[in-house]
Structure 1
Amino acid sequence: EVLRRMERGYTSSRYLQIVERIRSEVPEAGLSADAIVGFPGETDAQFEETLELMRAVRFDTLNTAAYSPRPGTPAATWEDQVPEETKRERLSRINELATAHSLQRSQGLIGREVEVLVEGPNSKRPGQLRGRTRGGKRIFLEGSTDLIGALVQARVTEAYNFSV
């Protein structure tokens, strides 16, 4: 119902079908999405459905926000606005679950050799490089700056919420 009110062109069941197809073809595919909590009219039950969808998908990255009215949009004038406190609580819960899923996905890479596109130096740790795995996971590795722009193999030894 929330997706319909937001005028999205898909349903959660169709979304899950697409995710299942991607994961069957490319099991290590990194999936990211955006989620807005507190859209006008969103009920507690509908929010719980969002959490269930997240549990089914286990996103590598989920960009989240609480709905805020935009002047000139139909939803800004609807009477069934969700209270700010409810939005804050929902945002906290969705972020907690998203962080846990990202960490689980990162931990699944420990001990594995992964292909990495080396993007550049790690600005926070001199002498270290940063890059991305094929699944889009941020990775930090040791190596020469000569590797920037190259595809290299790296063994994952540590996992964090949003990187390895």
Structure 2
Amino acid sequence: MMALGEAGYKEVTLLGQNVDAYGRDLPGLAADGSGRRAHTFTDLLRYVHDAPGIERIRFATSHPRYFTDRLVRACADLPKLCEFFHIPFQSGDDDILRAMKRGYTAERYRSIIDNIRRYMPDASISGDVIVGFPGETEEQYQRTEDLVRSIGFDRVNTAAYSPRPNTPAAEWENQVADLIKADRLNRLNAVVNEVATERSQRFLGRDLEVLVEGVNPRDPAQAFGRTRHNKLAYFDGDGQALTGRLVTVRIDQANAYSLFGQMVGEVPPRAPLSAAFAAAAGGQQLVGAA
């Protein structure tokens, strides 16, 4: 992590299929007597937070089964943690979730999002969902629509179920017809876009931090980058010269998945939260999530 900061990288993303399960296979218990494991994903976040040069940290993909209150509180406490969470939910119906062997209920998922917004009210939430899982009824599909509306997602990656070889569900006899799956996917996409557009309006008139990624391929006079909320933002400027810099952009147009505005200045580097990184670097080393 230190090498990335020294090389000029401003943002890192910790990746794992179930990234918040990090540490569950490592030995030992915490010294605080809490009974929790000695190494958790929350500990890893705190470890990487003060790496010199790194200004923003993201992580994906979270699994509701492992998403803890301690993790949410750490994200709220650490200034470099971006206000963005990608937590797949797959369905809004408990029977379908059980058939998928997801290990949680729709209510449990809602409680996770409620907890995130209790500590970080402005956080963006994205998720993954599948429609047309074997046996899904219209009523069960409607529960997924209801969940999308009630959560208020900033983005949802949608897909229709497709049988995969050597998976139990592929052999079930209660497959949903392709035309029904396509209809549900189209309907859900309309709801997702409607909700995302409504959620984006909260950024109008605000000054947002943007990490510039380059020149807008559709308009060479514009630069573009990503906000801490994982929204693409476009603004007039020299994208080539600004690449890799953190700037502040005042938003005057908000679409479902993109923002437009004017650059108002550059963002100064963040000071380290503490000396914890230096102390940790001289002792036990944690490995990245896999």
Q: Which TM-score band (shorter chain)?
A: over 0.9
Structure 1 residue aligned with 2:183, among 77, 85, 89? 89
For 1:6, the equivalent position in structure 2 comes to: 100
For 1:109, the equivalent position in structure 2 comes to: 203
- The answer to whether the 8 Å contact 1:106/1:162 transfers is yes
What's the TM-score once normalised by structure 2's chain length?
Answer: 0.55
Higher Cα Rg, which structure: 2
Gaps of 5+ in 2: 1-94, 260-290
For 1:154, the equivalent position in structure 2 comes to: 249
- The answer to whether the 8 Å contact 1:30/1:137 transfers is no
For 1:30, the equivalent position in structure 2 comes to: 124
For 2:164, the equivalent position in structure 1 comes to: 70
Question: Post-superposition shift, 1:135?
Answer: 0.9
Matched letter for residue 10 of structure 1: Y
> What's the Cα RMSD here?
1.1
Query: Which residues of 2 match residues 124-143 of structure 1 at below 5 A?
Result: 124-143=218-237
Deviation track 1:25-80 (CA, whole Å, cap 9, x = no partner) reads 11221111111100001111111111111011111111111001111111011011
For 2:254, what is the secondary structure of its paired residue? coil
Deviation track 1:92-145 (CA, whole Å, cap 9, x = no partner) reads 111000001111111221111111111211111112111111111111112223
**Partner Cα separation in structure 2 for residue 78 and residue 151 of structure 1:** 51
Is 1:40 aligned to 2:144, yes or no?
A: no
- The answer to whether the 8 Å contact 1:35/1:65 transfers is yes
Aligned residues with identical type, % of pairs: 48
Question: Post-superposition shift, 1:147?
Answer: 2.1
**Partner Cα separation in structure 1 for residue 193 and residue 235 of structure 2:** 22
What's the TM-score once normalised by structure 1's chain length?
Answer: 0.95
Matched letter for residue 163 of structure 1: S
For 1:31, what is the secondary structure of its paired residue? strand
- The answer to whether the 8 Å contact 1:30/1:135 transfers is yes
For 2:203, what is the secondary structure of its paired residue? coil
- The answer to whether the 8 Å contact 1:35/1:63 transfers is yes
**Partner Cα separation in structure 2 for residue 18 and residue 70 of structure 1:** 30
For 1:21, what is the secondary structure of its paired residue? helix
Question: Post-superposition shift, 1:161?
Answer: 2.0
For 2:13, the equivalent position in structure 1 comes to: none
Structure 2 residue aligned with 1:54, among 144, 148, 161? 148
**Partner Cα separation in structure 2 for residue 21 and residue 40 of structure 1:** 31
Which 10-residue stretch deviates more, 13-22 or 104-113? 104-113
For 1:32, what is the secondary structure of its paired residue? strand
Matched letter for residue 148 of structure 1: T
4+ aligned runs moved over 6 Å, structure 1: none
User: Which one scores higher on RCO, CA 8 angstroms, separation ≥ 6?
Assistant: 1
Matched letter for residue 161 of structure 1: A
Gaps of 5+ in 1: none
**Partner Cα separation in structure 1 for residue 220 and residue 160 of structure 2:** 36
- The answer to whether the 8 Å contact 1:111/1:156 transfers is yes
